[in-house]
Structure 1
Amino acid sequence: MMVVFLVVFGIFSTVYAFDCPDNCKCSTAAHKNLTVCQEGDLRSIPRTLNPYTNHLDISGNVIENLENRTFVEAGLINLQAIVLKSSTIRRIEQGTFVGLKWLIELDLSNNFIENIHPLLFSDNKLLEMVNFSGNPITRLVPYQFTTLQNLRTLDFRNCALENVEEEAFSNLVSLQTLCLKNNKLTTLPKNIFTWLKQMHNLDLDENPWQCDCNVQVIAILLLIRGLYNSNGTLTCTYATKPTIIRWQDMDHIHNDCEHHVQAHVKETIMSGSPRFGKSTVFKYMNTTRRLPRYSSHILQSPFLPWIAAFLALITSYGCVICICNIYKYRIQTNTHKKNYECTNKREENSIYRDDFCLIDEENTTSDVSVSIDL
């Protein structure tokens, strides 16, 4: 059986490699039907590609526009990965990727894309990785990727982002890695990362951040969720003076941002965000003007008042139990006392009865009794 499979696979690989257009290389390996058409001076997606192709690398060409249904009309409905980097792409129409039900990875890096339609990936529910790095994209609108619930990696490094709306990353429940490195971002909405529960890699380096309340809230978010850059390279500056502040020192500025931080903490609690320590929650619910220092968490633990309240509650409960037991004991004692007194009175009154028995003290075994009539 294995021999038959290898023979069939070898024949398919040979046919697949033979049926390959000019300026392209086709191969089959590890369950991948790979077609590579790099730097072939292509102006559009070739219509002569093998329909069984599931990995297509067409980077380094001159494809300025991607039109609606361009891949489906080329018969490439089995695509799982598309690489279109450095292909001078300027415009992508809304229905470009319609019909690609199995698409998982898409690389559009280093092109000239300025806008992304919110419904561009409405037909690609299985997408896990999208790379837009190196494009002059300036803005991400609300619900930019709302249909991509399986998206895990999103890359916008080296773009020209100036504005990212609060709901831009909404519904990305599986997003784990987000890169916004080297853009023109000065601030972000404070709630932009609240709903990204699975995210554990976030890169915000090399942006001209301005020190405001939103940035302070985001800095706190990075700390309490373990997303802060361990190298401490993130900095911001005041709009009125060129003072450079490290993000880990953002607790020293903007005391008027306290209510912003508290509101964000409440929203983060509601979102069920992971790695959100309860001690930090209580810290910020009481005061937000100082970030917790790892060396003083024990000395300044916000749990101490709650522990004291818990011990007081336990003590009160124990006192109530003791009082109830004492009261119960007294009731039982009084009851026994009354029963004892009644028994004594009953025995004392028995000598006044008309009939009683005299027992021979000398012969205790005698069954003789004398009845005396008084």
Structure 2
Amino acid sequence: MAVVSLLMLMTALAFAAPDWMDCPTPCKCKWSSGKKTAVCEGGGFSSLPDNLDGEMQVLYLSDNYISRLARDAFKSVGLLNLQRIFMSNAALQEVHRDAFRDLIILVEVDLSHNQITSLHPETFHGNERLRVLYLNGNPLRRLVQAQFPPLPHLRSLELDGCQLEYVHRNAFVHLSALETLSLRQNLLRNLSEEVFMNFAHLKTLVLEGNPWRCDCELRGFRDWFLLSKLHSVPLTCSEPERLADRLWENVPSEEFACPPRVFVSPQAQVQAEAGGNVSFGCHVTGDPEPQVSWLYEGYPINHTWLVIEAEEGLLDKWANISVYNVSDADTGVYTCIARNILDTVSLNVTLVLPEVVTATTVSKSEGSLVWWGLVIVSVTLGCAAVITTIAVCCVRNRNRHHRRNLKASVSFTDQEKKLLDVSIATTTDRGTGSCEALGPDLELVEPPVHITIESEPLPLAVFPPPPEFSGSVLPTAAYGNIFISVSGQAGVPRNGDPAAEATRHSPLRQHGSPRHRRR
């Protein structure tokens, strides 16, 4: 009887489930394809389950709410023997670069249809046995240089529907064993053939469903792709409009072209000095090679003193113009024209000379009493003393300007204004400097001041006129050199005989504008 009981106990133990199959609810643990498998799909998990047996080889965690895989995510819960991990549609947003660290026998990972926007290039570092990787449906947008670490056994990589707009030419440089690459249903308009130069074993390349722009940037890849025999579904053009919906293989290679583009240098308006030299040009790109020409005021250029030079290049060139001894005959609009089989484009450059603007205003008066007082004082002191004082002040003022190289408008002191006004009123004979024409019966007339202002159209260092010579009639443009001349009637005797006309020129030079008055 004892023997029978012992045999029954041993039989029950033989048919009892092993401990690793005692999964926490809602997971189910079982053998599947000869692997210890934990099925935790749709279990409402917000993190990895931490009470699974450490011998688990396959883990299904799809349709959960695990937003982040932290550093050592699987190692920290004792799942170091995992070979396959399935986490599609699990609300993943972030994957730490070391999330899969120390999973040295991992061969397959599925992270499809999550919200992963980027993967660190060192993600999967050390998972050297990885053979299959699914990243479909994640908004990755860009694959950067060396996007994946060395994975010498990776055979299949799927990146469908990842909103990819850019793939670096060296994105897959460490995936030399890749046999299947799928990039369907992305936003790719262009690819370089260099992306795939490292693939000695590539057998399948899936690219349909991308909005390809069939221009010169895609020509190299188009030619390589059609020769590679890797495609099973023909690719079509989305852009430009003239090639929309046409199959790559039905569009000749030379029609994968780019229209010309023109850029002017240094700017759209160039200022030159009369009698000087000036150079300007245009930068042209295009494929096929664009032809470049220049027009002046809409007509072919025939100036014998104008030199056109070109730095030749098939797809990128400069066409420069040099004008020597510039005059008014050279000013105007120059047009750079570039053309190839697709289009003709142009851009204008305007050559200008500085403008000269003349305006007249009236000096500010100190009042009739001041004028009469100054006349009496000047007559009493003598014409010779007044003229000497004015000459000394003018010489000192000019020397001080040149010595200090002032960069502000010249302004007269009250004393200088009085002396200047006296000199204007008392100087009637410019040849002799005689004061004999002055008399007590003179009626003084306030003289007009004529100001010539050179306006600089370009943003040079220019300054407004001094306040003594400002008025509402001055132009609003920037001010350069200012020249002031004063002329007027010195006085009329009471007996009706006209007095000699008094004229005095007083040039006012504003430092800060290096040019003299334009010839």
Q: State the alpha-carbon separation in 2 of the partners of residues 237 and 144 from structure 1.
A: 28
Q: Which runs of 5+ in 1 are unaligned?
A: 1-6, 260-374
- Whether 1:71 and 2:74 are equivalent positions in the alignment is yes
Deviation at 1:10, TM superposition (A): 6.8
Letter in 2 for 1:235: T
Q: State the alpha-carbon separation in 2 of the partners of residues 152 and 76 from structure 1.
A: 24
Render the CA deviation track for 1:98-121: whole Å, top value 9, x for unaligned.
010010000000100000110001
- Whether 1:14 and 2:38 are equivalent positions in the alignment is no
Q: State the alpha-carbon separation in 2 of the partners of residues 203 and 215 from structure 1.
A: 17
Of Structure 1 and Structure 2, the greater strand share is in 2
Deviation at 1:133, TM superposition (A): 0.3
Q: 1:175 aligns with which of 173, 178, 193?
A: 178
Q: What TM-score do the two structures reach when normalised by structure 2?
A: 0.46
Q: What TM-score do the two structures reach when normalised by structure 1?
A: 0.63
- Whether 1:113 and 2:113 are equivalent positions in the alignment is no
Q: State the alpha-carbon separation in 2 of the partners of residues 45 and 209 from structure 1.
A: 41
| Cα distance change, pair 166–187 in 1 and its aligned pair in 2 (3 A) | same
- 2:135 maps to what in 1? 132
Q: How does 1:313-324 map to 2 (within 5 A)?
A: none
Q: State the alpha-carbon separation in 2 of the partners of residues 134 and 164 from structure 1.
A: 16
- Whether 1:51 and 2:54 are equivalent positions in the alignment is yes
- 1:142 maps to what in 2? 145
Letter in 2 for 1:115: S
Letter in 1 for 2:229: G
Tell me if structure 2 keeps the 8 A contact 1:219–1:250.
no
Q: State the alpha-carbon separation in 2 of the partners of residues 12 and 170 from structure 1.
A: 51
Tell me if structure 2 keeps the 8 A contact 1:80–1:105.
yes
Identity of aligned residues (%): 32
| Cα distance change, pair 25–210 in 1 and its aligned pair in 2 (3 A) | same
Deviation at 1:194, TM superposition (A): 1.2
- Whether 1:207 and 2:213 are equivalent positions in the alignment is no
Letter in 2 for 1:135: N
- Whether 1:97 and 2:100 are equivalent positions in the alignment is yes
Q: How does 1:1-374 map to 2 (within 5 A)?
A: 14-17=18-21, 19-229=22-232, 231-232=233-234, 234-239=235-240, 241=242, 243-254=244-255
Letter in 2 for 1:97: F
Q: State the alpha-carbon separation in 2 of the partners of residues 171 and 109 from structure 1.
A: 22
Deviation at 1:217, TM superposition (A): 2.1
Number of residue-to-residue matches in the alignment: 250
| Cα distance change, pair 258–42 in 1 and its aligned pair in 2 (3 A) | same
Tell me if structure 2 keeps the 8 A contact 1:158–1:183.
yes
Tell me if structure 2 keeps the 8 A contact 1:82–1:107.
yes
Render the CA deviation track for 1:173-217: whole Å, top value 9, x for unaligned.
110110100011100123111111111111100000001234222
Q: Which runs of 5+ in 2 are unaligned?
A: 1-10, 258-286, 290-519
Deviation at 1:16, TM superposition (A): 2.4
Q: State the alpha-carbon separation in 2 of the partners of residues 97 and 10 from structure 1.
A: 36
Deviation at 1:237, TM superposition (A): 3.6
Q: State the alpha-carbon separation in 2 of the partners of residues 92 and 225 from structure 1.
A: 35
